[in-house]
Amino acid sequence: MILRAITFNMCHGQGLDGKIDVKRQAEFLRKFKPDIIFLQEIDMYTQRVNKEDQIYRFSKYVGLPYRSMGINIKYKNGFYGDGLLCRFPIEYSTNYLMPLIDDTHEQRGLLHTKISFGTTRLNLFSVHLSTNEEERILAVKELVRIMKKLPTSELIILAGDFNVGVIKTGNHQYTFNCKDSFQEYDILNKHLDKINNTEDTWFSSSGSGCIDTMFYSRNISAVHFETIKTNLTDHSAVLVEFNI
**Domain count within the chain:** 1
Supply the pLDDT for residue 46.
95
Q: Which residues pair with 176 in a beta bridge?
A: 166
Question: Do the beta carbons of residue 39 and residue 55 sit within 8 Å?
Answer: yes
pTM for this model (two decimals): 0.96
Supply the pLDDT for residue 176.
85
pLDDT digits (tens, 9 = 90+) for 103-152: 999 999 999 999 998 899 999 999 999 999 999 999 999 999 999 999 99
Residue range of the domain that includes 192: 2-243
Supply the pLDDT for residue 22.
97
Supply the pLDDT for residue 206.
76
Angle at 226 between CA 222 and CA 227, to 5 degrees: 135
Q: pLDDT tens track of the chain, all 244 residues?
A: 999 999 999 999 999 999 999 999 999 999 999 999 999 999 999 999 899 999 999 999 999 999 999 999 998 899 999 999 999 999 999 999 999 999 999 999 999 999 998 899 999 999 999 999 999 999 999 999 999 999 999 999 999 999 999 888 777 778 888 888 999 999 999 999 999 999 999 998 878 999 999 999 999 999 999 999 999 999 999 999 999 9
Supply the pLDDT for residue 137.
98
Q: Check which CATH number belongs to the domain holding 29 and give it.
A: 3.60.10.10
Q: What is the 3-state secondary structure (H, E, C) of the chain?
A: CEEEEEEEECHHHECCCCCECHHHHHHHHHCCCCCEEEEEEEEECCHHHCCCEHHHHHHHHHCCCEEEEEEEEEECCEEEEEEEEECCCEEEEEEEECCCCCCCCCCCEEEEEEEEECCEEEEEEEEECCCCHHHHHHHHHHHHHHHHCCCCCCEEEEEEECCCCEEEEECCEEEECCCCCCHHHHHHHCCCEECCCCCCCEEECCEEECCEEEEECCCCEEEEEEEECCCCCCECEEEEEEEC
Separation between Cα atoms, residue 127 and residue 81, nearest integer Å: 9
